[in-house]
Amino acid sequence: MDGTQGRIAARRLASPARREQILEAAIAYFAEVGFGGTTRDLARRAGVTQALLYRYFSSKADLTEAVFERIYLGRLDPRWIEEIRDRSVPLRARLLRFYGAYTGAIFTYEWMRIFMWAGLAGDALNNRYLSRVADSLLAPIAAEIGAEPGLTPPAMEDMWNLHGGIVYIGIRRFIYRLPTPDDCTPAIEAATDRFLAGCRAT
């Protein structure tokens, strides 16, 4: 209830809890201002002293690395690909289910912005993540489309087009701060239907 920013933290915390608190604050802070942000500002927002950061992280680089790991780790749910291949469910429903889950996982302020900051900075994890998206998600989806009677399997560039058109909603919302629909399900449905219709027409 104090009017000042930060300094909300308890006076004394168990080591793992404090580390977790700092890490969470770092994710929120770096998402907002990028990795050029200062350790002093971060500490203020975490409600601790700047010196304390160095008890839990050996350097700023060490801290940002922890932010990366936390952000990337477990972001790609292995069940997604299983569900994509589950042919007991109609193809359209599988696509909608996947992109519902995928956007549900990545359409957050922290994820979208940290991913973009990292991409611009040339982070290697970023590049590797997207390669995995291509190999483990887009390629299997293309294969499933190709397995459907009457549908031509789309090229990877077409898959990227589907993917990019959907992800761009999050870019507009969290990076460009443009108004977007609260619920992006209808947009995903429309994009998916257009895409499937295109695979049929060829």
Partner DNA sequence: CACTCTGTTGATCAATTGATCAACAAGCGA
Partner DNA sequence: TCGCTTGTTGATCAATTGATCAACAGAGTG
- What does the binding site for a second copy look like in residue numbers (CB under 8 A)? 34, 36, 113, 116-117, 119-122, 126-127, 130-131, 157-158, 160-169, 171-172, 175-178, 181, 186-187, 190-191, 193-195, 197-198, 201
| Given 6, 20, 34, 50, the residue binding DNA (CB under 7 A) | 50
108 binds, among a second copy, DNA, none (CB under 5 to 8 A by kind): none
197 binds DNA (CB under 7 A): no
Angle made by CA atoms 192, 173, 142, in degrees to the nearest 5: 25
Cβ(156)–Cβ(139) below 8 Å: yes
Cβ(152)–Cβ(146) below 8 Å: yes
Identify which of 107, 75, 79 has the alpha carbon closest to the alpha carbon of residue 94: 79
48 binds DNA (CB under 7 A): yes
Structure tokens at 111: 């994820």
Sequence-distant (≥ 6) Cβ neighbours of residue 13 within 8 angstroms: 21
Specify the residue, 122 or 150, whose C-beta has the smaller distance to a second copy. 122
Smallest distance from DNA to CB 38, Å: 4
Specify the residue, 17 or 93, whose C-beta has the smaller distance to DNA. 17
| Given 6, 24, 32, 49, the residue binding DNA (CB under 7 A) | 49
2 binds DNA (CB under 7 A): no
- Distance separating alpha carbons of residues 36 and 30, to the nearest angstrom: 8
- Distance separating alpha carbons of residues 141 and 84, to the nearest angstrom: 7
Cβ(51)–Cβ(82) below 8 Å: no
58 binds, among DNA, a second copy, none (CB under 5 to 8 A by kind): DNA
14 binds DNA (CB under 7 A): yes
Torsional class of 59: left (φ above 0), alpha (ψ -120 to 50), beta (otherwise): beta
From the list 54-62, 120-128, 165-173, 177-185, the region that binds DNA by CB under 7 A is 54-62
Query: Which residues of this chain interact with DNA, rule CB under 7 A?
Result: 9-15, 18, 37-41, 48-52, 54-55, 58-61
